[in-house]
A = this chain, B = another copy of it.
């Protein structure tokens, strides 16, 4: 787990459920020498239907668990709703660098878009927060957001390469394109603004117009996290050997450990290992 001279960086990754495992999947590939603790606050999901105050309290409790009890030196908020509504509250709650998924997604869109017009699909709660619009606007982009509430249940049902899912994607994209045309947008980039959507990336790449770039905000967040860690201790980290798989990751959930273990591997792309149940209270 450590060399005599350098400790593996310890990174906490947090989501209300297990969608954030797509961010962790990218992180495990990019930082094989780091140790990860993942917490899914599954007893209190979905955050999307709750008030900002409640989400901030839940997210801060989760962040403290990862930092104070698991020793995370960096925190990645792999949850669009918590990133959109509670990033400040989390940053106040813990004394380590905290990274959300929204700004990396917007930055990746900035790097690829030539027209400056971007489409963002996300959950209802994320769209209603307009966090992507704000992050895009700060980078000089115009964003058109659309909630796609059927996509999370379709992914959780396992219908990733399914004709029904392809139809639903087509319907949502047609509605979004019609709105874009009506508002005079000329979009060339589509941001997948939900940590469940990377599992549908190929389906989206088939469905978009030729020339449209599909941005995976999970991957963008993982790349930003690598920059953050490397910026602080690059020479040391690069010198470390990759950790054995069993030492790389411990997952925690606040409820539904079975469902987490069953569905989690789809998002992580490999078994999540034994998930430990934790009680964060009410």
Q: Which of the candidate stretches A21-29, A31-39, A149-157, A215-223 sits at the interface with the other chain? A: A149-157
Q: Is residue A43 contacting chain B, with contact meaning CB distance below 8 A?
A: yes
User: How does the 8 Å CB contact mask read for A241-282 relative to B, with 1 for contact and 0 for none?
Assistant: 000000000000001100100000000000000000000001
Q: Which among B51, B152, B255 is the interface contact of A49 at CB below 8 angstroms?
A: B255
Q: What residues on B are CB-neighbors of A153 within 8 Å?
A: 149-150, 152-153
CA of A171 to CA of B163, assembled, Å: 11
CA of A159 to CA of B45, assembled, Å: 24
Task: Number of A interface residues at 8 Å Cβ cutoff, please give it.
Answer: 25
Select from chain B the residue with minimum beta-carbon distance to A147. Answer: B157
Report if A157-B149 is in contact (Cβ < 8 Å); known contacts: A49-B45, A51-B255.
yes
Q: What residues on B are CB-neighbors of A255 within 8 Å?
A: 49-51
Copies in the complex: 2
CA of A54 to CA of B279, assembled, Å: 13
CB of A240, distance to nearest CB on chain B (Å): 38
CA of A42 to CA of B156, assembled, Å: 22
CB of A8, distance to nearest CB on chain B (Å): 33
Q: Which among B45, B49, B54, B171 is the interface contact of A42 at CB below 8 angstroms?
A: B49
Q: Is residue A6 contacting chain B, with contact meaning CB distance below 8 A?
A: no
Q: Is residue A137 contacting chain B, with contact meaning CB distance below 8 A?
A: no
User: Do B150 and A157 touch across chains, with their CB atoms under 8 A apart?
Assistant: yes
Q: What residues on B are CB-neighbors of A152 within 8 Å?
A: 153
User: Do A256 and B150 touch across chains, with their CB atoms under 8 A apart?
Assistant: no
CB of A154, distance to nearest CB on chain B (Å): 7
CA of A157 to CA of B49, assembled, Å: 15
Q: Is residue A2 contacting chain B, with contact meaning CB distance below 8 A?
A: no
Q: What residues on B are CB-neighbors of A234 within 8 Å?
A: none
Q: What residues on B are CB-neighbors of A50 within 8 Å?
A: 43, 255
Q: Is residue A168 contacting chain B, with contact meaning CB distance below 8 A?
A: yes
CA of A147 to CA of B61, assembled, Å: 33
User: Do B168 and A259 touch across chains, with their CB atoms under 8 A apart?
Assistant: no
Please indicate which of the listed interface residues A42, A153, A154, A255 has the most CB atoms of chain B within 10 Å of its own CB.
A153
Q: Is residue A226 contacting chain B, with contact meaning CB distance below 8 A?
A: no
CA of A34 to CA of B259, assembled, Å: 42
CB of A121, distance to nearest CB on chain B (Å): 14
CA of A156 to CA of B46, assembled, Å: 15
CA of A51 to CA of B46, assembled, Å: 15
Mind listing 29 A-B residue pairs with CB under 8 Å?
Answer: A42-B49, A43-B49, A43-B50, A43-B51, A43-B54, A45-B49, A46-B46, A49-B255, A49-B256, A49-B259, A50-B255, A51-B255, A149-B153, A149-B156, A149-B157, A150-B150, A150-B153, A150-B154, A150-B157, A150-B159, A152-B153, A153-B153, A163-B167, A164-B164, A164-B167, A164-B168, A164-B171, A167-B167, A282-B282
